[in-house]
Structure formats: structure tokens, C-alpha cells
Chain A
């Protein structure tokens, strides 16, 4: 494997502007007046949040994350991030989260911070960072807030040095240049095999809600019971939940075909699930920007009906195959290659935007039935652990996929969040009742 010989620029060079990373280039091109790719991570504290202290904490923390204190600009050939002065206001939370950012309005920050009762939520435009980078920001923000407000086991005042580390940054420290890195460029393997086009995937039929509506269904599940169910079948929790998701979608397609009297000669479509992978697990970097990829888990419904126990090994092996380090580097290379083409680089931005949006419309969402993102187990330093009750992670509305699933676990509870723009709850119900049938208790909270 030959990493690209592209050196990172020093942090000082990024003070005024910096380029979008390889994955980020997609998001400004595909956003519409109605939707943009957003995601949200929340921390539910043990005590109600005091907005004025949260605002002070944000003002302290943001200078430590200069890669996020930016707004989006359009150049002649590419978008770029430029420094945005000031600090966004902390806002009361809303029922319809993850609205698209108002790029043109000043100060134009690409993230928002909300509070509601005991919850602190941050919402990010995906071009800025992926969930792993944002989790570091949220944990640092929560720590700075707790240093002011105190909480169970935390006395107000300066926190001990031991709480800080790679996952929770010291707001007083100087930003590391590597935190700005576009790590895709460092680890891309450009001479891998060519990618191939996936066929169209199944999208469940549903009734769309009016624009700017986002239903959230949160399922709280004990990790030990989930782990027990997964171990019983010799798979990981993510593989088990991906199999539950695929099984639910296959069942929905079966039922839809019956109800809608679909011509049996018409092939049922494959169910394909995108499972994002944090590439930092495989390629070390301190980058706080995008550095994730995804593994496709696909079951072709045209092959016949699959029982849950038949789906599980398929999901298990497909995920393991997708998580091969060299395969991942080659896949990154496929995405990095076009960016290095001189002809493409010299194409004006508006043409690039049109082309990227069209490609995404044709081969992006149509080839995927949904996304299931597992942020994994979130850890807080022992000094702050009791002051935080749980972490939640949710994906914003997609364009064609009406329901997305994201999850994060903390202190033995997995919070599974379904974010949906349709009236029906068949996917949520199918998924969560499947867990209940498997002996896993589920508690449901919702804004429906």
C-alpha cells in the first residue's frame, strides 16, 4: 500500500481558510433548499442544563476546535471553509431538529448547539466532520459545562488534568495541526480495483410528512442483554442489529408485495444497508474532520425468503470482508482518484455541483435501502461519568430514504434513534419488536 505523499499544511495555514476533505465535497453539492446532510449527538445529563453556563462553556471550547469555527464559501473551482468570527448562540431545542444550515446568513456556522431539560445536543453539517470527530467536541463541551455547573460527583471549578486525553480535549491546549488533516489523502490506495455500480435497492413505501418535519423514536436497550443475544449467535452487537434491520426491511418488502399485488414476475429488490465505519480504527489520525467510510450489507430478496438465522451469518461475513484494511484503503482511493484529476479540478464549481448531485441522485441513495450508524461505546472520564446519564446519536433526514437509524451506548444502555420523515412507523416497530421477541427489553421515547 502506498499512501499519498501529500503533506499536511501547518495549522497556521488554516487560520483563514482550508479545503473541504474528500468526503465533505459531496455534501454542499447535494444539499437542497429543503434538506442538507446533518447529524446530531446529544448528551443527557443527570441534572437540568443551565443555558447561560452552556453558552459560556461553548465560548471557551470553540477556539480549541478551529476546524469547526468556519462557514462555507464557494470558490471558482471548489467550496472551501473560511473562518467564522464569534460563537453561535446556544438555542432551546426544537421538535423538528436537523434543519439545514442557512449557509448564506452570517455568521453562517455549520453547527448548532441546543439544550432541552437535561439534554445538550450538537447538530453538525456532515461536510464539517463525522460523528467520531463531533463526539470529541461534545464531550469536551460537556466537560467544560460540568466544570461550571457541577453535577453528581463533579464539583464546580477547574477539572483535574486527568480527564483530558485524545477523546476529550483540554480547551486551554493549542490545536494540533493533525486535527485538520484530510486523512483520506494520507491513506488512500490509488491502484486498487475499480469500483462497480450497485443495482437499485429496495426503498419501503411510505407517506411523506411535510417538509421540515422529523420524527424521532428513541429505543433504550440494555447492552448486556443485547450482548447476550449477539453472543448466542456468535456475532457482534452491530452485526446482530444490522441483521435485525435487514430482516425487518425484507419482511416489509414481502408484505408490500402482497398488499400491493405486485406482479410475481417482477424481481424483488435487494435490501442493502450502509453501515458507516470509523476509519480511525484502522488508520491512525487525530483528524477531527470526516474520516469514515461505510460497508454495504446486502441481501438479495430475489434469491428467496431468508430466515433471521440465515441472514445473520451473511451479515457477519459481509461486514468482516468489508472491514479488511486494504480493501478500505482501495475504496478510499476510488473516492480520492477523481479529486486528483486535473480536468475535474479545472471544471467550474457549478458544473461540478450539478454533476455530483446527478451522480448522487442516480447511484447514491437509490442503491441503498437505509443507513445504520453505530457510534459504539462512548466513554467519559471516571470523574465525569456519573454526571452524564446517556449519549444519543441520530442521523438527519435523507433525500429518498425516509428512515435512518443511529445508535450510541453509554454506561450499559444503548440508545437507538430512528429519525424519520414519513407518517408510518413500520420500520421502527418491526425493528424494536424484533428485539422484544428476542427477549431484549426496550423502552421507547418519541416526539411523535
Chain B
């Protein structure tokens, strides 16, 4: 019998190295038995096949039915290019749902970026085909839709990317989310004021931002002070 010189445990006669520390077995009086069966089997069962792409394909097949119905109805009965709107909506729905299904690992950052891009494309189509013409459509698209979508996407992406990279507990996460929400609302109000013809005028969002900042600072202080946290838990327990 062989013993690990590091761990002091007896090893199986088929073990070429210690299972605990990896030290190689070197015992001239009893070499490793390469012919005896190992204590555990060596064949691995492969993981079950991933059927999520199949679900994404099935969803695409199901959604293609209303797409076809809209397209054929539009072609037969006319009435302008109205079918682009429902078809665009259905395609957008598929992009939003199929992204997570087709992604092998959870990748929220590229998926959120993709979703924002898909929403922008759909809104662009609505703007371009709208009854008031391309110029008017592009006016609200560039001054209102594009900035709001970009702000909302950035406000979603930032905390997701940050929290995936740096671990944070509940209080720090909440503090980040408060600052993020405050900044997002400022961004949205800026976009609205820009569209209304009063660029860089803030009327209400700065109040929300200051409240959010105050809340975040309070949360970070509580996070840094275990005594304060314990006191709050004691007084506010439910």
C-alpha cells in the first residue's frame, strides 16, 4: 500500500497521484497497479442536448403564421403598407425572446444592446413609414425616440455590466440603482425638453436626482457602518 507523503492518507493501489493534493505516487516496493479496475468508473455521460435553439425555432415558426396572414391580407386587400407595423412588432418580439434562448451562456450586456438596437430599428420603420412623411417622422425619431431609447438602454446596461464585474451586496446594489435611475430620468427630461424646443432645461428630474443621490449616500453610509446597520435592523425589523 502507498501513502501520500504530503497528506498521510493511504491511497488506492490504482492511484497514480494523491486525490487530495496531487502529489505523485513514488513507491518502488509497490508500483501503481495499472491493470486493476479503478475504484470509480471513467466514462462520463454527456450532458443532455440543449433544446433552447429548438424552442427559438419553434417560436419563429409559430410567429411566422400571423406574419404571413398580415402580409397576404395586405397584398390582397391593399390599404397601404399597414402590415409592416404588426410584422415589425412580431419580429421585435421574436428578437427580444429568442436572444436569451439562443445565447449559450447568460450574456445580458450584448443582449440588452441587441434589444435596444431592435427597438430603434422598429421605431425607425414607424417613423419612416408614418403618414406625415419622412421629414416629420425623422424629426420625432431623432429628437425623442432615439435619445430616450439610448438613455434607457444605457441606464439598464450600466448597472448590469457593473454588478456582473464587481460583486456588491444588497445595499450597494440599491445605491447604484438609485443613482442610475436618477441619471436616467435626467436624461429622459433632457430629451423631452430638446424635443419641445427648450434644450437643457430641467424642471423636475433634478429633484428626483438629488433625492436618489441622497438615498444612495445614505445607503452607502449604512453599508460602511456595521453598527448603524445592526441598529436599523433592530429598530425596523418586521
Taking Cβ atoms with an 8 Å cutoff, the residues of A that contact B are 92-96, 99, 102, 116-117, 211-212, 216-219, 267, 425, 428-429, 432-433, 436-437, 441-448
Contact = CB atoms under 8 A, between A and B. Distances in A.
Interface stretch (B12-20, B124-132, B156-164): B12-20
Contact of A446 (B7, B19, B41): B19
A99 B45 CA distance: 9
B157 to A, nearest CB: 24
Given A94-B41, A444-B19, A446-B40, 17 more contacts: A93-B40, A94-B43, A95-B41, A96-B45, A99-B45, A102-B48, A116-B40, A212-B46, A425-B21, A436-B8, A442-B8, A443-B11, A444-B10, A444-B18, A445-B19, A447-B38, A448-B19
A432 B9 contact: yes
Contacts of B12: 443-446
Interface of B: 4, 7-12, 15, 18-21, 37-48, 226
B8 A433 contact: yes
A381 B17 CA distance: 38
A219 B19 CA distance: 10
A425 B47 contact: no
B19 A425 contact: yes
B221 to A, nearest CB: 14
A303 to B, nearest CB: 14
A99 B46 CA distance: 10
Main secondary structure on B side of the interface with A: loop
Contacts of A429: 7, 20-21
27 contacts: A94-B45, A95-B41, A95-B43, A95-B44, A99-B45, A102-B48, A117-B37, A212-B46, A217-B20, A267-B226, A425-B19, A425-B20, A428-B19, A432-B7, A433-B7, A433-B9, A436-B9, A437-B8, A442-B8, A442-B9, A443-B9, A444-B10, A444-B20, A445-B40, A446-B15, A446-B19, A447-B38
Contact of A445 (B39, B45, B48, B226): B39
Contact of B9 (A96, A219, A448): A219
B10 A443 contact: yes
Contacts of A443: 9-12
Residue in A96, A219, A445 with the greatest tally of chain B CB atoms within 10 Å: A445
Given A102-B48, A117-B37, A446-B15, A95 B9 contact: no
B8 A95 contact: no
A411 B36 CA distance: 24
A448 B46 CA distance: 17
Nearest to A447: B40
Residue in A94, A441, A446 with the greatest tally of chain B CB atoms within 10 Å: A446
Residue in B4, B15, B20 with the greatest tally of chain A CB atoms within 10 Å: B20
A442 B10 contact: yes
Nearest to B8: A436
A215 to B, nearest CB: 8
Nearest to B12: A445
B105 to A, nearest CB: 11
Nearest to B38: A447
A399 B179 CA distance: 32
A123 B37 CA distance: 22
A441 B11 CA distance: 11
A427 to B, nearest CB: 10
A217 B15 CA distance: 12
A267 B21 CA distance: 30
Nearest to B233: A199
A116 B37 CA distance: 10
Given A425-B21, A444-B19, A95 B48 contact: no
In order of increasing CB-CB distance, the 4 nearest A-B pairs are A446-B19, A447-B40, A445-B39, A429-B20
A433 B7 CA distance: 6
Nearest to B11: A444
B1 to A, nearest CB: 8
B8 to A, nearest CB: 4
Nearest to A362: B170
A95 B42 contact: yes
A151 B20 CA distance: 34
Contacts of A217: 19-20
Contact of A432 (B15, B20, B41): B20
B9 A211 contact: no
Contacts of B11: 443-444
Nearest to A221: B9
B194 to A, nearest CB: 40
A436 B9 CA distance: 7
Contacts of A212: 44-47
